[in-house]
Amino acid sequence: MKFKNILKAILITGAAVLILLYPSAAAASTVRSINVCIDSVIPSMFAFMVISTYIQSSGLYKVIFRPLMPVMKRLVKADESMISVFLLSLIGGYPVGVKLLKETIAENKNYHEIADVSANASAFCYCISPAFAVIMLGNGIFGSTSAGIIIYLSDMLACLTMAIIVSRRTQLTSHTFTAGNGKGLTDAVNSATHALGVICPIIIAFDIMIDCITSALSDAGITATPWAAGVLEISNLLKLSSVSYYSLPLTAAVSSIGGVCVLIQCLAIVKQAFPVRKFLLARLPCMLLSGLYSLIFMQFIDVSVPTAAVSSTYTYSFSANKIIVPILLAMCIIIFYRSDNFSEKV
């Protein structure tokens, strides 16, 4: 414990020194990351977080995912609620899965068995969103929608493979489990607001430190590659000046982790709700599986990569515009129906 505190003190002191030495880089990255949060993160994530929380807490997942449950139960030996969290995480993106797992524990009054089940499920309830994979990584890095589709399918199948394995080696069911407590839309909005209140400051802090470290390395004559920065915060991959067809598996592997920044966001959301050891340990095999699946997909899906990658001026707001309209439409449908009558009308 003493060593951990000393290490924290060294890191915090180092961060403070870097900010003092490179105030211009810190200021510029602060403005840029705030714009990213406003233009992309909040518009693309907030609405879906509200929707996914409402679907899970109200019990609507029993209706929405009913056609998929017979097949999913054969693949993944888990409660319907855990399968629902898994399916929502495949659509919503990195933090959605762990956020829903934490809320499931809270709904069950923090019962230790539910916490253990959630800890096991966290190994596979973590995936890149299709919008980010196709628009930001596929088009933003490779200038190819097909590349983005390969990245998403690779990450999704890696999570599904992990779910199949984990469900046969650990417990993902509970006799004491209850779900669908009838929480309304207001509770879902409050929950999403709190989650983004955790996510956005971490993104800003990481961008500041990455830019300060990059400036320090540049003064020392060392050039930091976007790949290294992308491992820390995945959107830095957009700074790649050139890419090749054969860098696609590496991109898929990195995207399956999401970067250290996203991992810290998830840990901050989870707090002490459940142990995160399995969540962290599962990232390496998922990374390897994602890279392997992308190699297989590349044999069947044609990917034409331009000689030069899309420039780093690629706009972040583009991703939000592509997905916000259908999500807001879904929110309007829910708002127009009271939560206690919606299930009956469906």
The DSSP code sequence of 177-211 is: --------HHHHHHHHHHHHHHHHHHHHHHHHHHH
Of 319, 289, 254, 301, nearest to 150 (Cα)?
301
Q: pLDDT value at position 280? A: 93
Of 339, 2, 344, 69, nearest to 189 (Cα)?
339
The stretch 154-178 carries a mean pLDDT of 85
Q: pLDDT value at position 281? A: 93
For residue 132, give its domain range. 22-345
**Strand, coil or helix: what is 264?**
helix
Whether 15 is in a domain gets the answer: no
The stretch 320-332 carries a mean pLDDT of 47
pLDDT tens digits, one per residue of 46-75: 887 888 888 887 778 888 888 999 999 999
**Strand, coil or helix: what is 336?**
helix
Of 95, 104, 115, nearest to 56 (Cα)?
104
> Is there a contact between 286 and 253 (Cβ–Cβ < 8 Å)?
no
Whether 59 is in a domain gets the answer: yes
pLDDT tens digits, one per residue of 193-245: 888 888 888 888 888 888 888 888 888 888 777 788 788 888 778 777 677 77
Whether 5 is in a domain gets the answer: no
Whether 16 is in a domain gets the answer: no
pLDDT band at 292 (very low <50, low <70, confident <90, very high): very high
pLDDT band at 162 (very low <50, low <70, confident <90, very high): very high
Whether 144 is in a domain gets the answer: yes
Whether 1 is in a domain gets the answer: no
Whether 75 is in a domain gets the answer: yes
Whether 14 is in a domain gets the answer: no
Between 248-257 and 283-297, two packed helices, what is the crossing angle to 10 degrees?
A: 150
Q: 115 or 323: whose pLDDT is higher?
A: 115
Candidate from 15-19, 228-232, 296-300 with smallest mean pLDDT: 228-232
Note the pTM of the prediction, 2 decimals.
Answer: 0.79
Give the side-chain half-sphere CA count within 13 A for 68: 15
Q: How many domains does the chain have?
A: 1
